[in-house]
Structure 1
Amino acid sequence: MRFVIYGAGGIGGSIGARMHLNGETVLLIARGEHYAAINAKGLAFHSPAIHETLAIDVAEHPDDITFTSDDVVILCMKTQHVEGALRDLQVNASPHTPIVCCQNGVASERMALRRFKRVYGMVVLVPAEHLEPGVVVNFAENRAGNLDAGCYPRGVDEVIEHVTGAIHAAGFVSRPDPNIMPKKYAKLLMNLTNALDAAGSERPSDVIEAMQDEARACCQAAGIEIADRQATRESRGDIRGGAVVGFERHGSSTLQSLLRGTRNVEADYMNGEIVQLGRLHGIRTPVNEAVQQIGVQLARGDIQPRSLTADQIRTRIREFTV
């Protein structure tokens, strides 16, 4: 089996690097300067215990790949880039190609199922960053992160058993789960804070609680199951954050996008997912709507990263609750 890691940032780069180090056949798909750096010099991968530059296969676009029946594609870009990635894959890969959706949020699986027959959801709990072309850092000791996965919408098959087995052997906690989406919804609740983390150095607990209460109410109205906290804690396994010599850990994936100078963030698929559910089921979601708009303003430069105080965040939220 060849693992095509589409999106070689913090998450995809860490997965690809560790699988490559464990002897798996890996092909990264990276963009722009990141692709150029990996292609020219290799992928510089750093963790508390590893500092290596890896001669790992890389392509810039699916057009450059001859796909075979042995390929599994693991989508590791942020959700706002998934639709375009799937269009490019559809042109080049068979509709039978297994597609593993390794994103925060819960929208990618539905997108993939429009074009591909075998779609899998994967929970993402990996402390990793990519801020410099050609460089990926995994801030984890012992196990590198949690990447449980299962068939979408439910079930387990031989493909995902093989995928999770290979990822687990490479140093992650990764197990096949026949009911994976409740775990992804539980992770979504955690990621509702991403835009707050990017907007200010403080994350007001009252705002977080209100966002999550709105999310639970929307999911209950929609008949969506959310894994409980105990199951979520157990799924993490033996994962501990760790310091990496020469690198500072900055924060959420949203903040990383802004620090790299991109003008897009994933708030539409975090807080926006709850806003959409609320509109579909007649439930007001003013706090998530306000935080979604903070994400939009961060992306277009109206708010600078880490510039808002907790009270300024609350003031912006009050504008949506009147």
Structure 2
Amino acid sequence: MRFVIYGAGAIGGTIGARLHLAGEEVVLIARGAHLDAIRERGLRFRTPGGEHLLRIPAAERPADVDWRPGDVVLLCMKTQDTAAALADLERRAGPDIPVVCAQNGVENERLAARRFRRVYGMLVALPATHLEPGVVTASGAPLSGCLHAGRFPAGVDDTIRAVCRALDGAGFRSDAVPDVMALKYRKLLLNLGNGVDVLLGGSSWGAGGAVGRFLERLRAEGEAAFRAAGISAVSPDEYRERVTAHYRSVPVAGEQRSGSSTLQSVLRGHTVTEVDYLNGEIVMLGMLHGVPTPANRIVRELAARVAAEGRGPGHLTIDELERLAGAPQYLQ
């Protein structure tokens, strides 16, 4: 089995690096200055246990990969880039290639299922940072994180069992599970704060308990939308037992992790972020099932605007955000 990591940023870079260090065959697909740095100097992989400079084969696009039987693709890009990536992948690798969606949110599996016969969901609980070309920092310890996976929409098979065995031997907790989407829906609720991270900036997270209460409001709207839609998510206690009990985020070379994956995208200058598929998923479910989601709606709109205008994080206070979420147009 060869692992083709499509999107070698923080998540994909960490997965690819760990598999490579464990002796698995890996190909990275990256772009721009990040790809140039990997090709010229290798992938600089920083962890709590030390730093590695890894010479991993890297390609710019699926057309540059010598596809062969036994390849498995791990999609690791942000959801806003998934549709175009899948179209390119199908043209080059065909619809029979196994596609594992190692991504936040729940839209990627739906997009992949339109084109590919074997689609898998993967829970990604993995603290990592990618802000500099050619450099990925994985801050999880004692394991790098949890990567439970299963067939979409449910079940397991020999392919995903083999994928999980390889990951489990490469520094992750990775189980082949039949209920991967229930895990991913719980993770979606946890990711609803990513847009708040963009709006408030890191310096605002110590603002008493106001931020925590606003995050609870976001997740309560999500839970209500799930109930109305008949969607099952594992409980917080079960998620802790199966996922977060196995790792923690620790400083690497004295540095803490640089915020959520969404904030990192904004800091790298991206003008489109994944909030449309995080808070936006809750907004859509609320609209379909008659559940008000004002807090998620304002976070999605404002975080998308901040990114589009290139303003960077930290332009609001929590008091301003709460006031905006109470405006009449968002309460309808």
CA contact (8 A) 1:199 1:303 kept: no
Q: Which amino acid aligns with 2:164?
A: T
Q: Does 1:251 align with 2:259?
A: yes
- Partner secondary structure for residue 248 of structure 2: strand
- Structure 1, unmatched stretches of 5+, are none
The equivalent residue for 1:313 is 321
User: What residue in structure 2 maps to residue 37 of structure 1?
Assistant: 37
Residue in 2 that maps onto 1:304: 312
Deviation, structure 1 residue 303: 4.9
Normalised TM-score (structure 1):
0.97
Q: Secondary structure at the match of 1:245?
A: coil
Q: The residue matched to 1:249 in structure 2 has which SS?
A: coil
Q: 1:304 & 1:121 partners in 2: Cα distance?
A: 31
Q: Write the distance in 2 (CA, Å) between the matches of 1:257 and 1:222.
A: 30
Report how far residue 131 of structure 1 moved. Answer: 0.3
What is the Cα deviation at residue 94 of structure 1?
2.1
Q: Cα RMSD over matched residues? A: 1.3
1:275 aligns to 2:278 (yes or no) = no
Letter in 1 for 2:241: E
| Secondary structure class of the residue paired with 1:204 | helix
**How many pairs does the alignment contain?**
322
Instruction: State the distance in 2 between where 1:302 and 1:45 align.
Output: 28
- The answer for the alignment partner of 1:260 in structure 2 is 268
Letter in 1 for 2:216: E
1:301, distance to aligned residue in structure 2 (A): 2.6
Aligned-partner Cα distance in 2 for 1:218–1:242: 34
Equivalences for residues 130-141 of structure 1 within 5 A: 130-141=130-141
Look up the match of 1:232. 239
Structure 1 residue 206, shift from structure 2 partner: 2.5
Query: Mapping of 1:1-322 within 5 angstroms?
Result: 1-200=1-200, 201-202=204-205, 204-236=211-243, 237-245=245-253, 247-301=255-309, 303-319=311-327, 320-321=330-331
Kept in 2: contact 1:6–1:29 (CA 8 A): yes
Separation in 1 of the partners of 2:111 and 2:145? 25
Note if contact 2:292-2:331 (Cα within 8 Å) is conserved in structure 1.
Answer: no
* Aligned residues of 1:20 and 1:56 also touching (Cα < 8 A): yes
8 Å CA contact retained: 2:269, 2:310: no
**In structure 2, distance between residues paired with 1:233 and 1:288:** 24
2:120/2:150 contact within 8 Å kept: yes
TM-score (norm. length: structure 2): 0.94
Q: Is the 8 A contact 1:5 1:12 kept in 2?
A: yes
Distance 1:241 1:184 in 2: 20
Identity score, percent: 48
Q: Distance in 2 between matches of 1:145 and 1:207?
A: 27
User: Partners in 2 of 1:242 and 1:282 — Cα distance?
Assistant: 41
Indicate the SS of the match to 2:162. Answer: helix
5+ residue gaps in structure 2? none
CA distance in 2, matches of 1:300, 1:5: 27
